[in-house]
Amino acid sequence: MTVSIVVPVVDEAARIVEALRRLRRDFPECELVVV
């Protein structure tokens, strides 16, 4: 089973990199979808 995490972003350039790193660290098997 695949679990996806949808991350809605608007004007989040200053924070998105760290947020994605943390999500990848905490949920390594999940698919991240940034919209």
Give the range of the structural domain holding residue 23, as residue numbers without chain letter.
Answer: 4-34
Of residues 1 and 27, which shows the higher confidence score? 27
pLDDT in tens, 2-26: 999 999 999 988 899 999 999 999 9
To 5 degrees, how large is the angle CA 13–CA 31–CA 28? 90
CA distances from 23 to 5, 28, 31 (A): 9, 8, 10
User: Residue 23: helix, strand or coil by DSSP?
Assistant: helix
| Cβ contact 32:20 at 8 Å | yes
Predicted model pTM: 0.78
| Cβ contact 10:34 at 8 Å | no
Question: What is the number of structural domains in the chain?
Answer: 1
What integer pLDDT is reported at residue 13 of this predicted model? 87
